[in-house]
Amino acid sequence: MNITIEPINIEDDEMNKVTSEKIFVQRHVKDANGNYLFHEDGIFSKRIFGKFGKCECGQLKKPGICPECGCRVISKKRTPNFYTEFDFDLPKKSINISNPDLNSKQVLDLYKYKGFLYDGEFVEYDVNSDNSIYEESRVLFGKDAILSLGISEEEYNSNIYRKVSIPHTSYRQITVQGDKYFLGDINKIYSDIIKRNNEYNDHKIHNKLSKFYELNLKYKVTRDLETLYGSLFGILATNHKKNIIENELKGQPETGMIRAVMTNNFSLDEDDLLIGSYFIKTLYPRLYKENTIDDVTDIKAINKILKKEEYLVLFNRQPTIGAKSIIAMHPIFAESDAEKYVIQANPIVYDGLAGDVDGDALNVIALYTKVACEEAKKLLPSVNYVEGSNDTIRNKLPEDFEYVKTQINK
């Protein structure tokens, strides 16, 4: 099963569009009171991003732009989709390749500007190599290369986008210590990709773009966006009302989560997580109360309910840095006292978690509503065999070739 992640639908609105990579006003970084002055078209612009509730001077307390201080006021309930727009195509997170006869990895690399065609032959792009050995007239990359493989323009267009969402500044604040400031990795990436887009536009206008200079710029933007995807989608999910799991987690008290040491259990199904009985009261307080008499808990009865109602838990090891480093699993509570304080899983699931059994403590988060559990089924290990970045089989499993081929080219 493939989970398709589409870029958020962003409408054209110049008020919400960031066009400059600059952080501060040039030559006048601070005002008379020592406050930073942000560039009006940049990634911290108060004219674009504004403040929630009221403006800087406090005169305006409803959405709009204050005539006194020039600060924009926005509503948390109707936060605009801030964005920057590129003058060239960017690959979507999930690429659909309809022709099973094509080399999917090479096509993906062409979409991501990680390769080019030279006289029709694929060449992996190396930033540090001497590309002067290639005659530019015989080089194809990006859209030209992809269409030359027989992919239709309609299919190509379905796999690209140009608007990149930028979260509100309250989610990516600058850290200030005395006279020093720290942008943070996310802000640096946004600044870099906008700078490269502006550099691309400037060189294109003045006809200064050589093929490999252009390829290099596009490659670096796509590479930076790949490192940003995890953080970006996490930020977008925070404000996405239809994200059921996110809303579920927000609505649960801290008692709905445990942290425990993981051990191997090769006999478990890949989707099952065996949890020590000590954690029943924390994860499922209602079931614990209903099935405990005189301090004796009926673990079998609780497991029966969890199976019948198809409850799921989210399982991960911090930091959550990969697309599949948080997964969903079926909870089963261990009946043995010897297994009371640990959690157990089949090592088959360790790949995405970047975990092992040398004392790692992992998180288990209970989901209580049916809609959240239904959505979490998409994260079960059994339906996530295919690695999203390179279409290989995860966990080094010797899966049937036809199954893999079918899954990759859905």
Number of domains the chain is built from: 3
Mean of the pLDDT values across residues 159-167? 90
Q: What is the CATH number of the domain that holds 304?
A: 2.40.40.20
**For residue range 286-299, what is the model confidence (pLDDT) as tens digits?**
899 999 888 889 99
Longest dimension (CA), the chain: 83
Q: Is residue 201 part of a domain?
A: yes
Q: Is residue 1 part of a domain?
A: no
Tell me if 270 sits within 8 A of 381, measured CB to CB. yes
Q: What is the 3-state secondary structure (H, E, C) of the chain?
A: CCCCCCCCCCCCCHHHECCCCCCECCCCCECCCCCECECCCCCCCCCCCCEECCCCCCCCCCCEECCCCCCEEECCCCCCCCEEEEEEEEECCCCCCCCCCCCHHHHHHHHCCCEEEECCEEEECCCCCCHHHCCHHHEECHHHHHHHCCCCHHHHHHCEEEEEECCCHHHCCCEEECCEEECCHHHHHHHHHHHHHHHHHHHHHCCCCCHHHHHHHHHHHHHHHHHHHHHHHHHHHHCCCCCHHHHHHHCCCHHHEEEEEEEECCCCCCCEEEECHHHHHHHCHHHHHHCEECCEECHHHHHHHHHHCCCCEEEECCCCCCCCCEEEEEEEECCCHHHCCCEEECHHHHHHHCCCCCCCEEEEEECCCHHHHHHHHHHCHHHCCECCCCCCEHHHCCCCHHHHHHHHCC
**Highest averaged pLDDT of the listed ranges 1-15, 147-161, 316-330:** 147-161
Sorted by sequence, the CB contacts under 8 Å of residue 197 that are 6+ apart come out as 84, 86, 87, 88, 221
Q: Is the pTM of this model over 0.85?
A: no
Q: What is the pLDDT at residue 318?
A: 72
Same domain assignment for residues 34 and 167: yes
Q: How far apart are CA 269 and CA 89, in angstroms?
A: 42
Q: Is residue 106 part of a domain?
A: yes
> Does position 327 have pLDDT exceeding 70, yes or no?
yes
Q: Where residue 4 falls among pLDDT bands split at 50, 70, 90?
A: very low
Same domain assignment for residues 79 and 192: yes
Mean of the pLDDT values across residues 149-167? 92
Half-sphere exposure of 89 (CA within 13 A, CB side): 17
Same domain assignment for residues 251 and 328: yes
Mean of the pLDDT values across residues 147-176? 88
Same domain assignment for residues 182 and 43: yes
Q: Please provide residue 257's backbone torsions phi and psi, each rounded to the nearest 5 degrees.
A: -140, 145
> Does position 163 have pLDDT exceeding 80, yes or no?
yes
Which residues are bridge partners to 327 per DSSP? 315
Q: Is residue 27 part of a domain?
A: yes
Same domain assignment for residues 229 and 316: no
Q: Is residue 105 part of a domain?
A: yes
Q: What is the pLDDT at residue 393?
A: 58
Same domain assignment for residues 31 and 124: no
**For residue range 352-389, what is the model confidence (pLDDT) as tens digits?**
676 655 666 788 999 988 888 998 998 898 887 666 55
Q: In what order do the strands lie in the sheet with 64-65?
A: 51-52, 72-74, 64-65
Q: Are strands 160-165 and 313-316 parallel, antiparallel or unpaired?
A: unpaired
Mean of the pLDDT values across residues 132-153? 93
Same domain assignment for residues 374 and 265: yes
Mean of the pLDDT values across residues 85-100? 89
Residue with the two structure tokens 């065609």: 117
Same domain assignment for residues 342 and 197: no
Q: Is residue 235 part of a domain?
A: yes
Q: Which of 161, 180, 202 is the last residue of a domain?
A: 161
Same domain assignment for residues 269 and 363: yes
**For residue range 271-286, what is the model confidence (pLDDT) as tens digits?**
999 999 989 988 999 8
Q: Is residue 364 part of a domain?
A: yes
What domain range is 326 assigned to?
Answer: 245-408
**For residue range 230-239, what is the model confidence (pLDDT) as tens digits?**
555 554 455 4
Q: Is residue 188 part of a domain?
A: yes
> Does position 38 have pLDDT exceeding 70, yes or no?
yes
Same domain assignment for residues 280 and 391: yes
220-229, 278-287, 310-319, 345-354: range with lowest mean pLDDT: 345-354
Same domain assignment for residues 133 and 184: no
Same domain assignment for residues 70 and 194: yes
Half-sphere exposure of 58 (CA within 13 A, CB side): 0
Mean of the pLDDT values across residues 61-82? 87
26-30, 91-95, 204-208, 385-389: range with lowest mean pLDDT: 385-389
